Structure 1
Amino acid sequence: MTQDFTQQIAAPGAPGGQARLVAIPRLAAAGRWRVEAMRSVSEPQLLWFTKGQGRITIAGITRGYTANNAVFIPAGVMHGFEVGPQVFGTAVFFGKDCTIPLPTTPQMLRIREVHAQQEINVILDMILREMNSDSPAHERATRHYLGLLGVWLERQATKAAPEQTKPDAAKRLVARYTALLERDFRTGAGVGEFAAALGVTPTHLSRCCRQACGRSAISLLQDRRIFEARRLLAETAMPVGEIGASLGFTSAAYFTRAFQHLTGKSPTEFRRSV
């Protein structure tokens, strides 16, 4: 992958610019679907795994992760990953108004050098300490440590660049599909329409998706739409029918069937359970 670092964290406390650190197990505390289903977030994030292993799918490409993997995901990139009971680590969210130079493409980095592992652990400890501090200039110190984290990431990505293999045609197509899907999953468009927009047949698109992540094109689409439905059911008071309509379902009954097929619960039952 090419390393392209661009100016993209507003000061902590600025509207939409609040950086934060979250223990990876806590991301799934309100339900594993919050991390395992296909979704995106509106800010750059870095996942630093310190224990355990699993699979992570980014832009339609699935890989395994283990301890000492650093995974950077730019804002708006569709992803999901397994969080088993033995998985530990830290997620860094850089904020929606991030101005720290960060990669513009996803990065999956295996950090083999003990010194580099210790370095990121120290930086994360200092960020957390300053975030929780009431000392003078603690917000400025937080920004500087976040900047150091960006430098660490850039150096590790540059070091890993010669070992990175260029994505093949199938993976490039799937990455384009997931970007288009992330943009238009609310429109009600089906796989056929997405495939036509990409200039390929639905069969070819689904074949490439299976090669890249072991899932069909329709599975990725359904997972993304139903994640959004679950999020809206859990976090808003929108009526069930309005949620279905906002996600392109042609009727409340169709939405309920699709939701129940994927989750095992009706939308109303799911809302009551969260």
Structure 2
Amino acid sequence: MIELQPKTYINIVKAEAVVRGHKFLTRSRKHSAPVVSTAVELDDFGTPALIVATLEDGTTVRIAHGSTIRVVSNRPKLMKGTALALDDLELIPAEEGTPEAVIVDVARAHPDRPRIQRIAARLSRGLNTKAGSNLQDVRDLAHTLFVDLDDRENALTVCGLITDLPFDGNFGRWKWIQSALALAAYINYDAGNLVAADKLAEALRSPDDADEDPFRAKVNAAVRQRQLNEPNLYDKEIHRAMAAVDRSAERDWRVLRLGALMFLRAHGGSETLEPAELDRRIRNELVAIRALNETH
């Protein structure tokens, strides 16, 4: 009879929660030897400063007290929301020069970010630009790189995997390409790369002139202008979350607001929001979201 091996999970735990039997996940994605004992080292004022873990192979690992570390476990959940199946974080090697190789390289630049590892692991198995879920993953990866980590170079690289795709009339797929175009356009605007930014913005606006019927095109243009002049920036939802001190909800609504602002910026602003004002609001939103990340 074949003995089934228990599923392995990655858990993010506080240094002081490391116990006998834990294995650490190294940067090379290998497991350390099991922990056999731990000790606490105090600073000169008697405050816990380091957790010293001794491994089965005699190695000593020193971890800052209060920091977090990834441990390998057979238990699916040690702390709420932190357990990830190892398969969810497994990057599949890809041939150099392929979109999948780009994804893997970006993920390796941020080995301590589970969200990036999880998305990259899915995409490294094969990027299908016809699949809306894959397009969403690419956009989410680029968004996380820029908004959460301010990694503009890698965010642009990831956006570039889908920003050359043409509008084919499928708005379900296009919304993710459009979001990546808006993000890439803003990063270029902010860096002063106006030619690249304008090219991306032009691609984002390509569906605006897709309708060849003159009457429908005129109606669509009027509706589009109204949406640009009176955008939903989720003010009520954000204020409600702030009043309830619900930081998670506030962050989610602010992320939606940021996306709307970047979309407006790629359109060159509107009659009610000029580009300079949009730039100011986008910068403020990025500061607010990143501050919420630190307390989230």
Normalised by the length of structure 2, the TM-score is: 0.27
Q: Which has the larger radius of gyration?
A: 2
Pick 1 or 2: higher relative contact order, CA cutoff 8 A, min separation 6: 1
Normalised by the length of structure 1, the TM-score is: 0.28
